[in-house]
């Protein structure tokens, strides 16, 4: 059963509302809550391209497993949560039993689990506090922008609640304009990574539930009327036309919007409609299309009134034709690898440019032109690096394993996270696939759920392909792909583990495939576990030799599938998982990585690298 406060915070109530509800003043509570509701978080496309005041660094932190900090019931006149009184007050006749100034520090961005040994297994609420100075500017809005906070989070500035958010892997921004003042300010956040059955993802995952302010936190200033979202892409039908839209927040209809690409001498002007959206269309001459071989990026300037955003974007088209995937109208085979957002060397949640460059650098070394960023949206740093390095991206919504597919509230949560994923990331040329789910059970409720999700994704972004990683059936020596969800997808993704969870590696030699859909197929996962440095017979599990043997048998088998158009073996690097306790081998790490968490390349790395670079896997492109 949910804790009592979860039933109320889910509806956006302030903590004072919670206090009144708790003490039973129901009618007064309802009226006060309506009056004190805070604005919902918004998405700022390209937020990392705006000037920002960083709030990264050390924050005071207090673990609060009972969530006592929501209230301080010292006597009936004192009902203040930890978000209001940050530390002991010298004139307070009642003792304050917390003090952020004396609390241990946590670095932001970063998960709490890997920063202190005592927090490695902690799941629950954690309080954060930071002081900062601010000089207010007239006629500006100020947003507190959070790259991600896992899983539920609440924020107060100078004791005033400014927003709350659910979802652990997407960015959001909270309007803090009226809460700020000149001079000294403070921000308090409560972040709760407790798993619940109606979360997205749900109770069971195969990765570590890293909690905290796991990505960057900053203050972003915008004018009273500003650009919050935009979408610019190459017209599939006309290769010399860039089209899309720009949305202006808080502006009147008729606002003038300008978009220009100085290097191409291209410029367009448009006017916002009643919803604040301006449709953009402009001809471009001499455009160099973005490709993995030549990932050309252009400076793009967008302006509306006093606001301006300076982007760096590539332009390309992606579509399917029969069983082909076409990049810029030409067939392409996706030579890839799957990647978790696990930090190399230090472990924990990846967030930095260095993390992205290391992980994607290994992918490039393998000979990849594509990466599957699983099983949730990754940080903007990964996407910017993929744009720059020329790596096509599969981006995934965290609909993982068995959610409550018959629960409308869970569908709403999945769609909210999809909104934030797409609206944050839609201008990355690298992203070609929106994945709706991974390894979900084949039930009518699941199928309806993901069909609805896919329809929603297409309404947000009709320019990219929709996929999902499906499970397969086995009849004798035949693998059958007939999940009805395949009818909804543009590209079929499948996971299989012959040689690891099923039989020996040579079982792949006699396996046949039956695909019920005439669509492109990506083998989104296959692989085997191995501890780096453990050597032995190719028939001995957990050795590097066994893992390499699985790859040697898998690659020829998969190459025989006529509609195979890509693969992303599982996984680039070992990552923490509480489901993997085998002492001396796994030690709570999933060891299917081609690289260890400490950067040691296993034998299978070389097997895949040779296949990719010699182009012995997949059709020539």
Residues 6+ apart with CB under 8 A from 168: 148, 149, 150, 151, 193, 214, 376, 398
Distance from C-alpha of 386 to C-alpha of 287, rounded to nearest angstrom: 20
DSSP structure class, residue 2: -
Check if the beta carbon of residue 481 is closer than 8 Å to that of residue 472. Answer: yes
* CA distance readout (Å), 500 to 106, 546, 577: 39, 10, 18
For helices 408-425 and 380-389, the axis angle rounded to 10 degrees is: 50
The phi, psi pair for 261, rounded to 5°, reads -125, 95
Of 585, 495, 578, nearest to 540 (Cα)?
585
Distance from C-alpha of 433 to C-alpha of 454, rounded to nearest angstrom: 12
Check if the beta carbon of residue 362 is closer than 8 Å to that of residue 573. Answer: yes
Tally Cβ neighbours within 10 Å of residue 299: 13
Which tokens is 553 given? 């048998």
Which tokens is 403 given? 């959610």
Cis peptide before 418 (omega within 30 of 0): no
- HEC string of 384-397 equals HHHHHHCCEEEEEC
pLDDT in the model for residue 139: 80
Cα–chain center distance at 245: 23
Cα–chain center distance at 99: 33
pLDDT tens string 114-123? 999 999 999 9
Per DSSP bridges, beta strands 318-321 and 589-590 are unpaired
Q: Which helix (H) or strand (E) holds 301?
A: strand 298-304
pLDDT in the model for residue 79: 52
Set out the domains of the chain in order of their start, with CATH numbers: 38-220 (2.60.120.260), 226-316 (2.60.40.10), 319-613 (3.20.20.80)
Cis peptide before 201 (omega within 30 of 0): yes
Check if the beta carbon of residue 371 is closer than 8 Å to that of residue 361. Answer: no
DSSP structure class, residue 279: E
Of 250, 251, 253, 257, nearest to 274 (Cα)?
253
The phi, psi pair for 218, rounded to 5°, reads -155, 165
This prediction has a pTM of 0.93
pLDDT in the model for residue 89: 64
Check if the beta carbon of residue 129 is closer than 8 Å to that of residue 187. Answer: yes
Query: Which residue, chain included where needed, has tokens 């455009």?
Result: 287
pLDDT in the model for residue 73: 46
% of the chain at pLDDT higher than 90 = 86
Which tokens is 273 given? 């409609």
Check if the beta carbon of residue 594 is closer than 8 Å to that of residue 602. Answer: yes
In 64-182, the DSSP E strands lie at 73-75, 78-79, 105-108, 125-134, 140-146, 152-157, 160-166, 172-175
pLDDT in the model for residue 508: 98
**Under DSSP, is residue 432 helix (H, G, I), strand (E, B) or coil?**
strand
140 forms beta bridges with: 223
Residues of the chain short of pLDDT 70, as ranges, are 1-37, 71-80, 85-95, 619-621
Of 156, 158, 194, 165, nearest to 9 (Cα)?
165
pLDDT tens string 205-252? 999 999 999 999 999 999 999 999 999 999 998 779 999 999 999 989
pLDDT tens string 598-609? 999 999 999 999
Check if the beta carbon of residue 111 is closer than 8 Å to that of residue 129. Answer: no
């Amino acid at each position: 059963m949910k804790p009592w406060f979860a039933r109320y915070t889910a509806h956006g109530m302030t903590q004072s509302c919670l206090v009144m509800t708790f003490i039973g003043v129901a009618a007064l509570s309802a009226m006060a809550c309506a009056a004190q509701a805070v604005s919902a978080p918004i998405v700022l496309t390209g937020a990392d391209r705006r000037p920002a005041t960083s709030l990264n660094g050390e924050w005071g932190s207090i673990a609060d497993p009972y969530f006592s900090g929501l209230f301080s019931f010292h006597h009936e006149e004192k009902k203040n949560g930890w978000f209001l009184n940050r530390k002991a007050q010298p004139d307070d006749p009642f003792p304050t039993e917390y003090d952020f100034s004396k609390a241990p520090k946590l670095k932001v961005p970063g998960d709490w689990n890997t920063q202190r040994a005592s927090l490695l297994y902690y799941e629950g609420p954690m309080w954060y506090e930071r002081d900062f100075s601010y000089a207010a500017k007239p006629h500006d809005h100020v947003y507190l922008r959070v790259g991600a906070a896992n899983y539920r989070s609440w924020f107060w500035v100078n004791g005033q609640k400014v927003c709350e958010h659910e979802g652990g892997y997407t960015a959001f921004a909270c309007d803090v304009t009226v809460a700020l003042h000149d001079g000294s300010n403070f921000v308090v956040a409560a972040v709760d990574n407790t798993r619940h059955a109606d979360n997205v993802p749900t109770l069971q995952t195969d990765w570590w539930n890293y909690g905290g302010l796991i990505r960057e936190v900053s203050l972003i200033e915008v004018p009273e009327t500003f650009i919050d979202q935009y979408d610019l892409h190459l017209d599939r039908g006309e290769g010399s036309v860039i089209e899309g839209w720009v949305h202006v927040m808080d502006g009147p209809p008729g606002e003038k919007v300008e978009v220009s690409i100085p290097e191409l001498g291209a410029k367009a002007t448009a006017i916002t409609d009643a919803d604040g959206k301006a449709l953009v269309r402009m001809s471009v001459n001499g455009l160099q299309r973005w490709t993995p071989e030549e990932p050309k990026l252009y400076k793009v300037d967008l302006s509306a009134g006093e606001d301006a955003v300076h982007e760096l974007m590539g332009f390309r088209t992606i579509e399917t034709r029969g069983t082909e995937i076409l990049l810029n109208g030409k067939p392409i085979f996706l030579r890839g690898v799957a990647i978790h957002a696990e930090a190399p060397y230090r472990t924990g949640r990846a967030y930095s440019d260095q993390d992205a460059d290391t992980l994607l650098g290994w992918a490039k070394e393998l000979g990849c032109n594509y990466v599957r960023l699983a099983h949730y949206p990754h940080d903007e740093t990964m996407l910017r690096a993929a744009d720059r390095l020329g790596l096509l991206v599969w981006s995934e919504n965290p609909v993982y394993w068995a959610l409550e597919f018959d629960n409308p509230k869970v569908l709403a949560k999945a769609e909210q996270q999809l909104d934030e994923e797409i609206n944050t990331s839609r201008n990355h040329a690298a992203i070609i696939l929106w994945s709706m789910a991974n390894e979900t059970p084949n039930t009518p409720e699941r199928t309806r759920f993901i069909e609805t999700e896919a329809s929603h994704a297409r309404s947000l972004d009709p320019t990219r392909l929709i996929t999902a990683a499906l499970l397969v059936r086995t009849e004798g020596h035949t693998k059958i792909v007939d999940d009805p969800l395949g009818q909804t997808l543009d590209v079929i993704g499948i996971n299989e583990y012959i040689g690891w969870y099923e039989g020996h590696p040579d079982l792949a030699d006699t396996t046949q495939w039956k695909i019920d859909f005439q669509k492109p197929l990506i083998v989104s996962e296959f692989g085997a576990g191995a501890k780096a440095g453990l050597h032995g017979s190719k028939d001995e599990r957990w050795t590097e030799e066994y893992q390499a043997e699985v790859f040697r048998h898998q690659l020829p088998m998969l190459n025989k599938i006529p509609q195979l158009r890509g693969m992303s073996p599982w996984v680039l690097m070992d990552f923490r998982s509480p489901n993997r306790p085998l002492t001396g081998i796994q030690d709570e790490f999933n060891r299917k990585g081609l690289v260890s968490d400490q950067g040691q390349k296993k034998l299978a790395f070389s097997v895949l690298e040779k296949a990719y670079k010699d182009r012995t896997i997949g059709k020539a492109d």
